[in-house]
Amino acid sequence: MTGDAQAFWLRAPGEGEIRRVELPPHGPGEVLVRTRYSGVSRGTETLVFTGRVPVDQYAGMRAPFQEGDFPAPVKYGYLSVGVVEQGPDRLRGRTVFCLHPHQTAYVVPADAVVVVPENVPAARAVLAGTVETAVNALWDAAPLIGDRVSVVGAGMVGCCVAALLARFPGVRVQLVDADPARAAVAAALGVEFALPADAAGDRDLVVHASATAEGLQRALDLLRPERAVLELSWYGDRPVTLALGGAFHSKRLGIRSSQVGTVSPRRADRGYADRLALALELLADPVFDTLLTGPSRFAELPDVLDRLATGRLPALCHLITYPEE
């Protein structure tokens, strides 16, 4: 056997634990990865942690190397960065990103890992999955030069979208959030900030990522006629109520979803590997370090997720560090 590892499991909704797992020997075409960092995708993972995945989404919400089933027990997560200790010569010793749950080491097919560019620090690379979501969203949204764009919700996904939009020539970006502390994050990303009541209207595009009904309603309110909100939030089993009796129909507004599980049809010439490689390339920009909070040790992960889920630990992408062996 290759040896033992430790993994984070959700034992029951709201109860996490560290379990010993036995690693199989790596075979031809496989790699053994020793984890250096993982990231907690706060929105999705806290919904999983609290057991709020809708039954009809159990299959659609499965992570690539998930074990167990929703609501629990389940091993979940998808932002892992480590070093290849065993495997093909082209990968051995390389830092790689993998859509793997929180675990100290793991064996996966070699084509399941993507080499992290040398100009991207390993800790920052945990954001690859979230930047990939933002890339797909902007492929769906297709903003134009000179657009006035609002991003409602300054969490991980919203901030990644804002950071990429800030690179578009002539695009004016306003990041909207109910937490005034997010103003500092917006400034670091190079975009404007506004509280919901103060947000600019008549927007060409609004991207919504607050995962609240209030945020989605405000996103609709900010649109100019004949435009649509691009919806990135995942609400789990929470109902969403909107007031559509006002200007929604007279202004001919719309809501369009974007989902990272499929590549945007606007970029049918690109595949999943292309999208993830692009996300890692974009992470060469040190501005993304603004989105990393923490760090916390792997052994603390059960408590970290509990505090994230209850709001006692404010975070964007919470960084988890692993012991060196």
pLDDT tens across 184-239, in order? 999 999 999 999 999 999 999 999 999 999 999 999 999 999 999 999 998 888 89
Distance CA 54, CA 61 (A): 9
For residues 47-52, give the mean pLDDT: 95
Q: What DSSP line would sit under 39-62, residue for residue?
A: EEEHHHHHHHHTT---GGGTTTT-
More confident residue, 163 or 315: 163
pLDDT exceeds cutoff 80 at 1? no
Fold of 134-265: Rossmann fold (3.40.50)
**% of the chain with per-residue pLDDT over 70:** 99
233 close to 255: Cβ distance less than 8 angstroms:
no
Domain 4-119+284-321 has CATH 3.30.2180.10: no
For residues 305-324, give the mean pLDDT: 94
Q: What is the pLDDT of residue 325?
A: 64
For residues 228-256, give the mean pLDDT: 92
For residues 46-54, give the mean pLDDT: 94
Is 134-265 the same fold as 4-119+284-321? no
**% of the chain with per-residue pLDDT over 90:** 90
- Mean pLDDT, all residues of the chain: 95
pLDDT classification of 294: cutoffs 50, 70, 90: confident
What sections of the chain are H helices per DSSP? 42-49, 128-141, 156-165, 182-189, 213-221, 247-250, 272-282, 301-310
Domain ranges, ordered by start, for the chain? 4-119+284-321, 134-265
Q: Which candidate, 230, 270, 23, 51, places its Cα nearest to that of 138? A: 230
pLDDT tens across 172-181, in order? 999 999 999 9
Q: What DSSP line would sit under 113-174, residue for residue?
A: EEEPPTTS-TTGGGGHHHHHHHHHHHHHH---TT-EEEEE--SHHHHHHHHHHTTSTT-EEE
